[in-house]
Amino acid sequence: MWQHFYSEVREMNQEEARKSHRRELYSQRMAAETPEVREARLAMRRVAARVHRDAETCMCILRLAPQCSTLLLVILCRLW
């Protein structure tokens, strides 16, 4: 019974150690990053966020399609 408990504690400690190590590696990578690389990384994140928002908007328009007239769909697509 106790062996199972200690095994779980050991697994939790190993998981915490992995997380801590990953955080440390991330911190080192961010500290070594040049301003140009940082700006490029943030720009890629902004583009990915825009693509995600656009996909959500497109899905909303498609869900409305059966309920809307063709003209309204054209207007929605052009506004998008």
**Structurally, how many domains does the chain consist of?**
1
Domain hosting 68: range is 54-80
Nearest-angstrom CA–CA distance, 77 and 35? 37
Q: Are 47 and 55 in contact (CB under 8 A)?
A: no
Is 76 contained in some domain? yes
Is 21 contained in some domain? no
Each residue of 20-33: pLDDT tens digit? 889 999 899 889 98
pLDDT at 16 exceeding the cut of 70? yes
pLDDT at 8 exceeding the cut of 60? yes
Nearest-angstrom CA–CA distance, 9 and 16? 10
Helix axes 70-79, 35-64, angle to 10 degrees: 170
